[in-house]
Amino acid sequence: MQPTATVLVYSDDSNTREQVRLATGRRPAPDVPVVEFIECATPEAVVRELDKGGIDACVLDGEAVPMGGMGVCRQIKDEIFNCPPVLVLIARPQDAWLATWSRADAAVTSPVEPVEFAQALAGLLRNGVSLNA
C-alpha cells in the first residue's frame, strides 16, 4: 500500500479549500506521499479532527470567519499535543509577522499560487510527518 499524508484544510470559504486541493494535486512534490484531505469549515471542527489524530499537516486560512487561521494556529499549538506542522494562508506579505506570532511553521499568500504553495506544503511534509501506511 502506498503511504499517504493527511492534510487538514481549514477555511469557511469552499473556494479557498478548493484552491488548496488543486494546488496540491495528488502530491505536492515527487518525494512526498500522496495527500488525502480533511476539510473543516469551523474552528471547532479543526480541534475535533486534530483530537482524533492522524493529521500530518494543517493548512489554515488566515482570513477565515469567525476565527482566522492565525488565531486557530496559536490555539492548536497551545492545546494539541504534538501538533502537526501548520501552513497559514495570509492576505498580504506584510502579514508574515502575524504568522510568526501564531507559531505557524510556514506561510504563503492567498490567493494560492500553486508552485509556491506546493513547495511550502512539501517542505512541511518532508520535515515532520509521521506517515500513515
Helix, strand, coil share of the chain (percent; to 5): 40, 20, 35
Spans of all domains in the chain: 4-128
- The helix (run of H) or strand (run of E) holding residue 52 is helix 43-52
Per DSSP, which regions of 12-55 are E strands?
34-40
pLDDT of residue 22: 96
pLDDT over threshold 60, residue 66: yes
What's the pTM value of the predicted model, to 2 decimals?
0.93
Rounded mean pLDDT of the chain? 92
Question: Residue 56 CB: number of other CB atoms within 10 A?
Answer: 22
Q: Is 4-128 assigned to CATH 3.40.1080.10?
A: no
User: CA–CA separation, 129 vs 131, rounded Å?
Assistant: 6
